[in-house]
Every structure is written in C-alpha cells, then in structure tokens.
Amino acid sequence: MKKNPTLDYEKALWEQGFFYVAGIDEAGRGAWAGPVMAGAVIFPVDENLPVILDGVRDSKQMTPETREEKFRIITDYAIGWAVGSASNWEIDSMGILPATRLAMDRAIAQLQPLPQYLLIDYVRLFRQMMPQKSIIKGDECSYSIAAASILAKVCRDHWMVEHCAEEFPQYGFEHHKGYGTQFHQEALEKFGPCKYHRKSFHPIASELKLFE
C-alpha cells in the first residue's frame, strides 16, 4: 500500500524553533551508469504545505510527467533548494554509500538559507554538524524528503539524457537512465561499458573482463 507523506516531522521541528528544515534524498544509487545525485529543499513554515504539494510523494511512485510538474511547483515554492552529485568515477573510487553522502553534502553546501535541521532518507551524514534525523523510507513519511527525491530524480534524468544518451546513443540511456534493464544488459554485452558506466558494479566488472 502506497503511503502519502505528511508534515509530522516538519511541524514538530518548527515547534522547537527549527524554521529552516531541509529534506534530503538521493537518486541513482542503484543504477549501473552515471552519477548519484542528491536533492535538498527547504520549505517555508506553512501548515498548508500538503495542499500546495498535493501529489508529491516518493519519486519512484510517480510518472516522469508528474515528476516534472511537481518539480516546477517545488522549486517555485521552496525558500531554498539545491542538487549535488558524485560522478561514476567517484562512486568507483570510494563506493556507493560514501559517494551518496558526498552528493548530499554537496547539495547541502549550496543551500541558501543555511538549514538548521536535516531530515534525511535513510542515510546519516557524519560531516554535518547541524542536528539531523535519518528516517527509513523517509520519502514516504516527510514532504520535505519526498520533494528532495523529486529534485534529485528529475535533475539526474535530465543529466543522463543530455550527457550519456547524446554521447552514447547505442545504450538507450534516454529510456532506462542507466538502470539495469534487459536492453541495457544486451547493449553492454554487445558494446562493452562506456566511460559513464560504474566499473565497480556488477555486471559492468564482468563485462570489462570479457573485453580485456
């Protein structure tokens, strides 16, 4: 059963005097190619937020068209938002979880105003000194986290089309955005990995051995 996010976490923090609450989430963590991106968003203190953001939820539960529509609403209404990324080379160098944290840290560093509290989907950010709460399936619980997931997903999808798909059309990146579809697997077997593939990920590592 799909859950709709609420303002419960945000309201509790507003009542404690944390008026700049940032929601943080990522997109692309499980993909075979491209960067991992993280969205960060701060909304004004407004109990009518669920009305304004009606339909905003975990980005994976939304169609591309709806995500684009909600992206515009989120960016128009937010008092601060940003997207950070970590490249496939950084993912191969440090691992996906540290790279995800790096993308989140980069998004937070761009936020104006500076957040006073972080609501993060699943991950804990050890480099951030401000208070934070890591929430399992946070994009199903918090409007701020759900909105951040949409920012990350839309920006990453655009990046995959503008960079990967245009430079390497044979892989069909515009359709699967780097995730592990059958078409993507067959393209890998035929052409081998390109420079945007995560060479530390299975099945890329296996394909590299075949092309050595």
Give the pLDDT score at 211. Answer: 46
Task: Please work out, in degrees rounded to the nearest 5, the angle formed at the alpha carbon of residue 198 by the alpha carbons of 192 and 204.
Answer: 40
Residue 136: count of CB within 10 angstroms of its CB: 8
User: pLDDT of 48-95, one tens digit each?
Assistant: 999 999 999 989 889 999 999 999 999 999 999 999 999 999 999 999
**Token pair recorded at residue 91:** 């993912």
In this structure, the strands spanning 117-121 and 80-86 are: unpaired
Helix (H, G, I), strand (E, B) or coil at 45: coil
> Tokens 């009606």 appear where?
54
pLDDT, tens digit, 9 for 90 and up, residues 145-171: 999 999 999 999 999 999 999 999 999
DSSP state at residue 65: H
Domains detected in the chain: 8-168 (3.30.420.10)
- The model's pLDDT over 192-212, given as tens digits with 9 standing for 90+, comes to 999 999 999 988 977 665 444
Nearest to 97 by CA among 61, 134, 60: 134
What is the pTM for the complete model shown?
A: 0.94
